[in-house]
Amino acid sequence: MRPELSIAGTTVPEASKVEIAIPVARLPSGSWMTMPLTVVAGVDPGPVIFCCAAIHGDEVNGVEIIRQVVNRLDPEQMTGTVLAAPVVNVPGFAGRDRYLPDGRDLNRCFPGRVDGSLASRFAAAFMTEVVERCDLGLDFHTGARGRSNLPQIRVAVDDAPSLRLAEIFRPPIIVHSKIRPGSLRGEATRRGVPHLLFEGGQAGLFDRSTVEAGVKGTMNVLGHLGMIPSSPPSGMDEDVTVCRQSWWVRSPRAGLVRTVVDLGEWVHAKQPLAFVADVFGGDDSAIEAGRSGVVAGRIEHAVVHAGDALFHLGAIEPLPAEDDEDPEEPRD
């Protein structure tokens, strides 16, 4: 038998699926603001993993991924426990906003404080009630508003166990990513909880291929860990590209942009990626790839300013250190 599991005052029996509202902070009206959590507990002890989404409130693909995963899980056929938090940033989700009402980025506020800002309290509640109980975390994100991402796992590729789990997930690509201070990934890793960060699609919209990749990958990981009955992981006959470095291609000028390459497409040096023109209909300028790589992300806005990040490209071979950029956000 596993030790009794109690979260936010709710006891979770074996072989059960329990919905819990974790109290975080009071609204000005006096009522509680809570974080939703579904706990799926198997019949036998085993790994405990968390799946979370909407740390950025407008990133909804992960919400749908987790909803579908939870619906597929049968506690009577499971070993171990899944803690599913489909919406971590509840205020941002309600307001269709990436950030908290005070403008803070929740993914820069971990580990948080119970007596801190609203963002800090959400971070602290999630760490205490969810992360600290777990052996592994799956964290679902999308591109920021106006940007779309190819489904991918971001991980430190020099961390062999994490890279192996990323390969079991079977995304189209795996992108090397440094740990950012204040991020959930950074704090979970610091506490010994391996963490896979999934990216796919764009903010505010469902993308069917992204949702399918996220659900398939999650079930692959659960099967690999022996938590659910499974055959070999889905997609094992498909190649997974590991991008050891990545960079952003920027617009040298303002105007209207027309992209001509797709997510997941391999491009070569000097290949046109997009064209930027002025509003008068002339002066069409080609934006070319500086080196070969795969299109991991691209802009979806038609209007661009000089210096805007247009494409995120990844390469199998390492690049010079000065060319390496964090895939999570374009540098200013």
Cα-based distances in Å from 23 to 9, 65, 88, 130: 10, 24, 12, 13
Q: What is the mean pLDDT of residues 48-63?
A: 99
Is the predicted pLDDT of residue 74 greater than 60, yes or no?
yes
- pLDDT tens per residue across span 250-285: 999 999 999 999 999 999 999 999 999 999 977 789
- pLDDT tens per residue across span 79-138: 999 999 999 999 999 999 999 999 999 999 999 999 999 999 999 999 999 999 999 999
d(CA 83, CA 50): 5
Q: What is the mean pLDDT of residues 172-184?
A: 96
CATH 3.40.50.2000, applies to 5-224:
no
Is the predicted pLDDT of residue 233 greater than 70, yes or no?
no
- Among residues 310, 314, 316, the alpha carbon closest in space to that of 327 is found at 314
> Above pLDDT 90, what percent of the chain?
89
Average pLDDT, the chain: 94
Predicted pLDDT at 234: 65
Predicted pLDDT at 164: 96
Is the predicted pLDDT of residue 321 greater than 60, yes or no?
no
Is the predicted pLDDT of residue 231 greater than 80, yes or no?
no
Is the predicted pLDDT of residue 1 greater than 80, yes or no?
no
Q: What is the mean pLDDT of residues 182-188?
A: 97
Among left, alpha and beta (phi > 0; psi -120 to 50; other), residue 308 is beta
- Is the C-alpha dihedral spanning 314, 316, 319, 325 positive or negative? positive
Predicted pLDDT at 200: 99
Question: What is the reported pTM?
Answer: 0.94
E-only strand ranges, the chain: 5-7, 10-12, 16-26, 32-41, 44-53, 79-85, 136-143, 147-155, 173-176, 195-202, 241-243, 245-250, 255-259, 266-267, 272-277, 285-288, 293-299, 303-304, 309-315
Locate the domains of the chain by residue range.
5-224, 244-323
> Above pLDDT 70, what percent of the chain?
93
- Among residues 293, 177, 329, 312, the alpha carbon closest in space to that of 250 is found at 312
Is the predicted pLDDT of residue 322 greater than 50, yes or no?
no
Where residue 319 falls among pLDDT bands split at 50, 70, 90? low
d(CA 64, CA 278): 39
Instruction: Give yes or no for a contact between 243 and 294, defined as CB atoms under 8 angstroms apart.
Output: yes
Predicted pLDDT at 317: 80
- Domain 244-323: state its class: mainly beta
- Among residues 215, 169, 243, 203, the alpha carbon closest in space to that of 98 is found at 203
Is the predicted pLDDT of residue 209 greater than 50, yes or no?
yes
62 vs 321: which has the higher pLDDT: 62
Identical fold between 5-224 and 244-323: no
231 vs 80: which has the higher pLDDT: 80
Is the predicted pLDDT of residue 332 greater than 50, yes or no?
no
Predicted pLDDT at 26: 93
- DSSP assignment of 287-317 equals EE-SS-EEEEEEE--SEE-TT-EEEEEEESS
Q: Report the run of H or E that residue 54 belongs to, with start and end.
A: none
Report helix, strand or coil for 283: coil
Where residue 3 falls among pLDDT bands split at 50, 70, 90? confident
Instruction: Give yes or no for a contact between 214 and 152, defined as CB atoms under 8 angstroms apart.
Output: no
